Copies of this chain bind each other. A is one copy, B any other.
Amino acid sequence: MKAGIIGGGMIGAGWARLLRAHGHQAAVYDERPALCDGASSEAEAVAGADVVFEAVAERLEVKRAVLAAAEGAAPPGALIASASSSLLPSVMQEGMQHPERFLVIHPLHPVDLLPVIEVVPGGATAPEAVARAEALVGALGKHPVILRREVPGYVVNRLAAALWREAINLVLAGVVDVRQLDLAASRGPCLGWAVQGPFLTYQLAAPGGLRPFMEHLGPAFQAIWASLATWTEVEPADLQRLARGTEVAYGETGREAQEAVRDRLLKAVLGALTLPHT
């Protein structure tokens, strides 16, 4: 398979590594010359491609311009996918000549390591394009999560954003600092959910399963849900505080060392999880 990738940032470069690791060809074009990898123009990157991956900035007008150019330069049969992490494919595909071959294929960072890839069709996407995307994701050794309908942030980033908002809230409110928050999340619920996901976790958290669990803890959940943060924007001064708190917590260790530790632990955890589960 030959892939044309537009955008050579963390996600685009990750796509290229993943594809090549599975024996496919990948050409990456980025308007920043240092990030180009095998193509010196968008048209060259997508020429003869079986699939086009758009992985540019998360802004609708930027993505639409790239998609329009890619659609014109790619072969008529190419699948065209956006690596957007939040935008609605129905909105992205408006104005395309052939919206039926377009959808979102959303990998997570780091692309090489995290096993889930979301597939999100828009209103004009053909079922055949969904089937091609599902097969492609599976062939790359990843688990496809196929959405039945589009929502902002899809599934993965909605779950992430829900926890992340409350994490920010707890640090800004002075309940815990950045390091204690990360510890509570990583060695607490996220550990159990990495093994099983929330539904199976709570199914096993009370004798009799999910219903008695929720009936027993209903008043507790109501009190918590009623008091969770519901704001929709982080003020610049608060972002400044969070960034400083994160620097205090982790700034002494170099970024490259932290990335190396992350990747080594992710690989070790993934190895542990390849034991049969359920």
Inter-chain CA distance A79–B225, complex, in Å, is 31
A205, chain B: closest CB distance, angstroms: 6
Inter-subunit contact A273/B268 (CB<8 Å)? yes
Inter-subunit contact B191/A85 (CB<8 Å)? no
Closest to A180 in B: B145
Could you list which residues of chain A lie within 8 angstroms of chain B, going by C-beta atoms?
A: 10, 57-59, 85-87, 108-109, 114-116, 118, 143, 145-149, 151-153, 155-167, 170-171, 173-176, 178, 180-207, 209-211, 214-228, 230-234, 239-240, 242-243, 245-247, 249-250, 253, 255, 257-259, 261-262, 264-266, 268-273, 275-278
Residues in B with CB closer than 8 Å to A232 are 222, 225-226
Chain A interface, >50% SS class: helix
Inter-subunit contact A155/B173 (CB<8 Å)? no
Inter-subunit contact A196/B182 (CB<8 Å)? yes
Pick the contact of A246: B185, B203, B220, B273 (CB < 8 A).
Answer: B203
